[in-house]
Chain A
Amino acid sequence: MTTVLTEPAVGVDRARAARGRRPRPPRDWRGWQFAGPFAVVFVLVFIAPLAYALWLSLFQTRMIGGTVFVGFDNYATALGDAQFWDGFSRVFVFLLVQVPIMLLLALVAALAIDSARLYASGLFRLVIFLPYAVPAVVAVLMWGFIYGDNFGLAADLNDLFGTDVIRPFAPEWILGSIGNIVTWEFVGYNMLIFYSALKTVPYELYEAAEIDGASGFQVLKAVKLPAVRGAVVIATIFSIIGSFQLFNEPNVIAPLAANVITSDYTPNMYAYNLSFAGQQYNYAATIAIIMGLITAVIAYAVQLRGTRREDR
C-alpha cells in the first residue's frame, strides 16, 4: 500500500500541478465494506473447498505409512484408470441419449401448454412439474417397486402376458431404466424453463405474424423456437452437468438390482466409494477435480456454440 500519509508541502503540490499530474487520491475501502461479507462467504464456501480438494489430490494417505506428498501421481493414475473411464463413458452415453429425449419432451410440453389450445393447462403444468418436487431418493424407491421383476409391477406385467421380457433391472436395460427415472424427474423442470422463455415473447410478434398470414407451424418455426433457443442452451448445460454428476438414481437402485450396478458405475459413485468405503480421500478428490474440469470444458463448449448460433 503506497498512500500518502502526510500533507504534501504546497511547493511540491504546485510542482506536480505544473507537470499536469494530480495527487493520487487516498485509496477508498468503502467498496470492500460492501463486498466484504460476500467475499468472506465466497472464499469460505467456494474457494476454500476447491483449494482443499486440490491440496488433498497432491497427497496419498495409506493405512500403513501415513500421508506422503506425491505431486501429480494421483492424476497420472486417474488418467490411466479403466474403472474411471468406464464410468465416464457410461454417463457420456447416458448424456447423448437421455438429454435429447428429455429436452424434446419438455419442449413439446411447454409448446403445448403455451399453445392456448389445452383445457386446464394450469393443471397439466402442475402435474408435469410435480415429479421434480418429489425428492430423488423417494422417486427412485418408488420406481424400484414398479421395476421389481420378482414382485413389482414389471413382474405382474410379465405374469399377465406370460413372458419374462420386461426386466428393467437386467444389466442390458438398467441404464435405460435409470434414464427413464431421470426423464420423469426433470421433464417438468425443463418444461418450466422453456415455458417461461415462451412467455417473454411480446404479443405484438404474434399479432404481426397473424397479419402476415403465418400458419400455426410458421409461427412455431419463426417466432416460438427462436425465442426458446437461449433457454435450450441453458437447459442443455444444466443437463450435461446433471448427467456427469449422476449419483442418486444408480446409488439408490444398487441394492434393489443386486450386483448390476457396480461401485464404479458413474464417476461420482466411484469417487464416493473410493473415499467412503476405501478411505482413499486423496484419489477421490483427484477424480472429482478431473470430472469437474471435463464438465466445465464441455459445458463451456456448448455455451459457446449455443450463443454463436444465436448471434447469426
Chain B
Amino acid sequence: MSTSQPQRLARRTLFLASGTGLLGAALTACGDDAGPAENGEPADLDAALEEGGELTYWTWTPSGQAQVDAFMAAHPNVTVELVNAGTGTDQYTALQNAVAAGSGAPDVAQIEYYALQQFALSEALVDLTQYGFADFEADYTASTWSAVNLNGGVYGLPQDSGPLVMAYNQAVFDEFGIAVPATWEEYITAAEALHTADADRYLTNDAGDAGYAQPLIWQADGRPYEVDGENVTIDLQDEGTRRWADAWNRMLEPGLLAPIPTWSDDWWQALSNGTIASLITGAWIPGILQGSVPDGAGHWRIAPVPSYDGSPATSENGGSAQSVLQQSKNPALAAAFLRWLNHSEDSVGVFLDSGGFPATTADLESEEFLGAAPEYFGGQQINQVLVEAAGNVEPGFQYLPFQVYANSIFPDTVGTAYVDRSDLNTGLQAWQEQLVTYGNSQGFKVN
C-alpha cells in the first residue's frame, strides 16, 4: 500500500489534531459554564408545565418515587427521572463533581440544610426569587425558611424539618425506675444511674458525629460560625459550645455514652434490644423507628429535648430542601416541579404517608396530623410534642460555607477525643485550627 506524501501529511495532522482536540475538550469541560439566564418570572412556571419536557431529580427521600409518579400523573407532558445518587455526603460528592465539571448535574436535587450554603455560594443553585418563591415564606416554619433563605436569595424549598427531640424506651425507663429527664442535669444523672445498674446498658450513644454535635451545640446556644459573605468567624469555644462540651464531657469521660456509631448495624441491634435507652434526635425519628426497629413497638415515647435552663429551646437536626441547579437546561420547568413537590398538598400528602415530618405550617397544624396516636408509641399523640418542638427552634445558627468538608475532618480532630474519652474542648480547638487554615486557603477571610 502506498499513499502519496500530501495524504500522509494530512493523515498525520488529523491524528495530532484529534489528539489535542480531545485533550482540549477534556480541559474545557472543567471550566465555567454560562448558566441559564437570571430573568424568569412566575408566569413562566405554568407555561413550562403546559409545554412539558424532561427533568432529572436526585433524591434519597423514601417517598421520592411515589411523589414523582403522582407528579407525572398530574402533568403528563413532563417526564421526571429520579436518580438516587447516594445519601447525604455521597450525593454531595457527585454533585460537587458535576458542578466543577460543568455538566452532569440534575435539574433538581435534594440538599440538606447544612450543605445548602456551600452550593449556593459556589453559584451552583438558581435563586428562585425570580419565580416568586419569596411569597411562600409564610407557608413554612421559621427555621426551615431561614435555612433556604441565604444571602438575600431563595435557594430551595424546604422538604422536611428535624427539630431536636428526645425518643426514649419507656420499658427500660420503667424497669430501672428512671424518670423522663427534663434538664441535662437530670439526663446526666440518669445516664449514670442506668449504666451503674447494668453495665451493658447506656442511656444514649454517641461515637462522635459532626452532624449530631452541631445541633447539640446549637441547642446549647452555641453559635460557633458567623458568615458574612467572604468573612467567616469560627469560634468553637464560645459560651454555648463550651456549655455543650462540658456537659457532654461528664458523660463521655466516665464512659456513659455507648461508643456505637449511629446508623451502624450495631446501633439497630442496640435499639431493638434496649441496650440504648434513649436518643436525642430529629423529629423524623418516628418513621425510622417504626420502619426499622419493629421489636421496639409499644416501648418508645417522644419527649422534648432536655434543656440547660428550663426553657424549651431546641435546634434543627437534619432536614433537607430541594433546589434547582444552575446547570438545568429548563430552570422554569424545574422550578415548577419543585413548587409542586414541596408546596402542594398532593405531594406533601404522599410525603406524610411515608412517615416524614413536614416543614409546611398548614400540615403541622392540621387536626389530623396533631391527633395521630400511633400504636408503636403506645398511643401517645407524638406529633403534638414534635410540632411544639418545631416552634421552639432557636434562631440564628449558621453553618459554614464549607460545611461538607468541615464535617469530613471532624473524625480527625473531635473524633480523637471521643476515641480517647478525653476533653472535647481540646478536640474542638484542633478542629477550629484546621477549619481556619482550610477556609483561608479557599479564599475566605477567616477569624
Contacts and interface: CB of A to CB of B under 8 A. Distances in A.
Contacts of B441: 62, 280
A150 to B, nearest CB: 4
Given A255-B264, A279-B96, A260 B438 contact: no
A245 interface: no
Interface in A262-281: 262-264, 273, 276-281
A14 to B, nearest CB: 25
Contact of A63 (B15, B122, B208, B264): B122
Given A63-B402, A279-B405, A259 B93 contact: no
Interface string B8-36: 11000001000100110011000000000
B443 A277 contact: no
B46 interface: no
Nearest to B266: A150
B438 A263 contact: no
A64 B259 CA distance: 38
Nearest to B404: A277
Interface stretch (A36-44, A92-100, A126-134): A36-44
Interface stretch (B151-159, B308-316, B342-350, B406-414): B406-414
Nearest to B438: A278
A119 interface: no
A46 interface: no
Given A148-B265, A150-B260, A259 B419 contact: yes
Interface string B244-262: 0000000000000011110
A277 B408 contact: yes
Contacts of B376: none
A264 B412 contact: yes
A148 B266 contact: yes
Contacts of A150: 258, 260, 266, 269-270
B442 A44 contact: no
B19 A64 contact: no
A254 B401 CA distance: 25
* Chain A at the B interface: SS class: loop
Given A148-B266, A258-B207, A279 B100 contact: yes
A17 to B, nearest CB: 25
Given A48-B26, A263-B408, A256 B261 contact: yes
A48 B208 CA distance: 42
B264 A278 contact: no
Interface in A22-69: 29-30, 36, 40, 43-44, 48, 51-52, 62-65
A259 B442 contact: no
Q: Which of A48, A255, A278 has the most CB of B within 10 A?
A: A278
B447 interface: no
A151 interface: yes
A297 to B, nearest CB: 28
B69 to A, nearest CB: 32
A150 B202 CA distance: 12
B43 interface: no
A250 B259 CA distance: 19
Contacts of B264: 255-256, 258
A171 B409 contact: no
Q: Which of A3, A62, A260, A277 has the most CB of B within 10 A?
A: A277
Contacts of A36: 15
A259 B416 CA distance: 6
B1 interface: yes
Contacts of A260: 419
Interface residues of A, number: 40
* Chain B at the A interface: SS class: helix
Contacts of B366: none
A281 B96 CA distance: 11
A25 B19 CA distance: 29
A63 B117 CA distance: 12
A150 B5 CA distance: 76
A5 B5 contact: yes
Interface residues of B, number: 47
A171 B404 CA distance: 25
B415 interface: yes
A258 B415 contact: yes
Contacts of A152: 266
Contact of A151 (B27, B93, B269, B402): B269
A52 B24 CA distance: 11
Contacts of B23: 48, 51-52
B438 to A, nearest CB: 7
Contact of B89 (A40, A43, A44, A277): A277
A264 B411 CA distance: 10
A163 to B, nearest CB: 14
Nearest to A148: B266
B230 interface: yes
B260 A62 contact: no
A261 interface: yes
A79 B378 CA distance: 61
A262 B414 CA distance: 11
B71 interface: no
Given A150-B260, A258-B259, A260-B419, A64 B230 contact: yes
Contacts of B288: none
A238 interface: no
A300 interface: no
A151 B266 contact: yes
Contacts of A145: 265
Contact of B93 (A171, A254, A276, A281): A276
Q: Which of B1, B409, B411 has the most CB of A within 10 A?
A: B411
Interface in B380-418: 401-402, 404-405, 408-409, 411-412, 415-416, 418
B121 interface: yes
A66 to B, nearest CB: 8
Interface in A131-183: 145, 148, 150-152, 171
Given A40-B15, A256-B261, 8 more contacts: A40-B19, A48-B23, A51-B23, A62-B443, A64-B230, A150-B258, A258-B418, A279-B96
30 contacts: A1-B9, A30-B1, A36-B15, A40-B15, A40-B19, A51-B23, A63-B121, A63-B122, A63-B442, A64-B230, A145-B265, A148-B265, A150-B258, A151-B269, A152-B266, A256-B261, A258-B264, A258-B419, A259-B208, A259-B418, A259-B419, A263-B408, A264-B412, A276-B93, A277-B89, A277-B93, A278-B438, A279-B96, A280-B441, A281-B100
Closest A-B pairs by Cβ, 3 of them: A259-B415, A64-B443, A258-B207
Interface of B: 1, 5, 8-9, 15, 19, 22-23, 26-27, 89, 93, 96-97, 100, 121-122, 207-209, 230, 258-261, 264-266, 269-270, 401-402, 404-405, 408-409, 411-412, 415-416, 418-419, 438, 441-444
